[in-house]
Structure 1
């Protein structure tokens, strides 16, 4: 059985510890809070859709506090379970494709004369070489991509492509940014929409680190709390 002192994550910890560091850097915490608010407000993209992006981003960073906060907010905005799951699937796809795209570096490393340039846009056309290595597995990966990115009555193809751009910026993979930005453009996303998407991704990636201050405070003060 996990004891309170042994648990590293609990929903109640955020409420209990989140404000503890604020007095040490009040202006900076306030600035981030304002940035986060601006990043998620209505703009070229609705605040409701930005929460859906934030939920997908929270699953990409793996921050349980971010997931809890944004899913809770999403429920208040009447996001449905089905569209939340579709957004999570996009997050899973892009994180997986980041690894898949890095297979291009593997193909280069396996070549007799490896190219010194490790990220060429033209290298994306070499992905088909994996089909020659293992056709069933390659086909399954591509089918997963097709199913995840197919639009639905709840989340359109364009919206899924936009979410994918956000997750690509969280992974930081050059191939993913190239590929999914191109897809979003094909689906009609504007530069204004992508700018706001990237800002949501930035807020969630930074917010993940900031949310984990709860763990840092708990780790630093655990012995003192145990003593009374």
Structure 2
């Protein structure tokens, strides 16, 4: 028994899945393979997105495997770092945009719908009550999303993928519109979202290694 819950050696337990749940294991493998194959997005781009989304799911196994895959596809450490900073900006943006619900919570006459696009008009309230913090957030978001080793278009595609991982409707709306302005196609966005789907499934899949380890103790 190991005192470390995360050991690379635990991944060997996943070999048992073909016997424990063969049909599901085969279907997951086919799903993952289909999502990560070359399409409107290259394999390299998909693996960069996978590394980004793995930082949303916070699965160390997924970060490890997809970082290695991305490197094998030619991704640089600078590109991967910029992609993960997009994640940090989207995560921060989710908290910022959801602050608009504070106004509704304090308003007894607020409409029943919790999510309306018009909520974003109330972002000025956060800026008013915490101006320095909001200024810092805005500067960080701008820096994270501007073109660098990765293009502004690809960063917005990552943004859409990540927003589906964080399940922030405001972020999905804003970054889909931004991606469209940067020239992203429907096919590219669809493929990016399916990478997110596979990574969310993959986080649960990979952590079955821990379940098997614990069951055997």
The equivalent residue for 2:10 is 13
Confirm whether residue 50 of structure 1 aligns to residue 8 of structure 2: no
The equivalent residue for 1:90 is 86
The equivalent residue for 1:111 is 107
Contact 2:101 2:119 in 1 (8 A): no
Take 1:147 and 1:64, find their aligned partners in 2: how far apart are those partners? Answer: 26
How much does 1:33 deviate? 0.7
1:199 to 181, 186, 194: 194
1:216 to 197, 211, 214: 211
How much does 1:27 deviate? 1.7
How much does 1:117 deviate? 1.4
Confirm whether residue 38 of structure 1 aligns to residue 34 of structure 2: yes
> Which piece of structure 1 moves more, 122-131 or 80-89?
122-131
Take 1:86 and 1:111, find their aligned partners in 2: how far apart are those partners? Answer: 39
2:180 to 178, 185, 194: 185
Take 1:11 and 1:72, find their aligned partners in 2: how far apart are those partners? Answer: 14
The equivalent residue for 2:68 is 72
Take 1:89 and 1:220, find their aligned partners in 2: how far apart are those partners? Answer: 37
TM-score (norm 1): 0.92
Take 2:197 and 2:70, find their aligned partners in 1: how far apart are those partners? Answer: 19
Take 1:182 and 1:217, find their aligned partners in 2: how far apart are those partners? Answer: 43
> Which piece of structure 1 moves more, 209-218 or 109-118?
109-118
Q: What do the CA deviations read for 1:48-103 (whole angstroms, capped 9, x no partner)? A: 10000000000010000000000011111221111100000011111121121111
Take 2:49 and 2:65, find their aligned partners in 1: how far apart are those partners? Answer: 13
TM-score (norm 2): 0.96
Runs of 4 or more off by more than 6 Å in structure 1?
none
SS in 2 for 1:19: helix
> Which piece of structure 1 moves more, 163-172 or 72-81?
72-81
Take 1:97 and 1:31, find their aligned partners in 2: how far apart are those partners? Answer: 35
Number of aligned residue pairs: give it: 217
> Which piece of structure 1 moves more, 94-103 or 47-56?
94-103
